Amino acid sequence: MASDSGGVTRRLPPPYDANPELGALVVGEDELRQRVAELGRQITADYAGGQLLLVGVLKGAFVFMSDLCRAIDLPVEFDFMAVASYGSSTRTSGVVRIVKDLDLDLAGRHVLLVEDIVDSGLTLSYLRRNLLARQPASLAVCSLLVREGEGVDDLNLTYTGFRISPDFVVGYGLDLDQRYRNLPFVCTVAGGSETDRRS
């Protein structure tokens, strides 16, 4: 869907191409804008006549969520949750600690969980269980990015922006040690490896 399919490396637009820490373009600004608009239309149609509670997973989802919500033409409420995962810096263990819990009661609400990226899916499966226990009227998941491979088909993602290759990526909310969340596109980091994953 995105990126360097066919093995073609896409260069970053200037002035970002001069940054030696950044690698290749994975999802460009125009592609993000178009896909977010499509997701917004789809969500608007799927929940027509209803109300929606968007739950963003901090910090990574805040950029995507702020664009997505403006592409949804429905009464929308917002809440946020922050999680930290135990385990090594390169791999989530699936044991997740809630750093900031929701303010709203989910009971009876139609909840759409908004994520930046689903990698192993361990964080998502924890969050799904946690949120379902609060008895929402429904629970769906929208992730901007999904990393290809590893059991992603089992994750029951309702809405997906782009499927991407194993490289570590930054931008549009995603960080490398808290930096680069404000890049207007998604790109790899120079010399980044598949296993170099921090959240």
Q: Which residues belong to the active site?
A: 119
35 binds ligand IMP (CB under 6 A): no
Pick from 23, 60, 136, 161 the residue near ligand IMP by CB under 6 A.
60
121 binds ligand IMP (CB under 6 A): yes
Contact 102/82 with Cβ under 8 angstroms? Answer: no
Minimum distance of ligand IMP from residue 189's CB (angstroms): 9
55 binds ligand IMP (CB under 6 A): no
Selection from ligand IMP, Mg ion, none that 139 binds (CB < 5 to 8 A by kind) is none
118 binds ligand IMP (CB under 6 A): yes
- When the beta carbons of 59 and 134 are compared against ligand IMP, the nearer one is 59
160 binds ligand IMP (CB under 6 A): no
Selection from Mg ion, ligand IMP, none that 119 binds (CB < 5 to 8 A by kind) is ligand IMP
Selected range binding Mg ion among 58-66, 91-99, 102-110, 139-147, rule: CB under 5 A = 58-66
What gap in Å lies between CA 124 and CA 136, rounded to an integer?
Answer: 16
Question: What H or E segment, with its residue span, contains residue 84?
Answer: strand 76-85
What gap in Å lies between CA 93 and CA 121, rounded to an integer?
Answer: 10
The closest of 195, 177, 176 to 187, measured between CA atoms, is 176
Selected range binding ligand IMP among 13-21, 67-75, 104-112, 165-173, rule: CB under 6 A = 165-173
40 binds Mg ion (CB under 5 A): no
Minimum distance of ligand IMP from residue 1's CB (angstroms): 16
Minimum distance of ligand IMP from residue 108's CB (angstroms): 27
The closest of 137, 113, 135 to 124, measured between CA atoms, is 113
Write the DSSP symbol of residue 107.
B
If 0-12 CB within 10 Å is exposed, 13-18 middle and 19+ buried, where does residue 56 land?
buried
How crowded is the C-beta side of 32, counted as CA atoms within 13 Å?
23
Selection from ligand IMP, Mg ion, none that 74 binds (CB < 5 to 8 A by kind) is none
Please state, as a whole number, how many other Cβ atoms lie within 10 Å of the Cβ of residue 154: 9
Residue 93 has which token pair? 């263990």
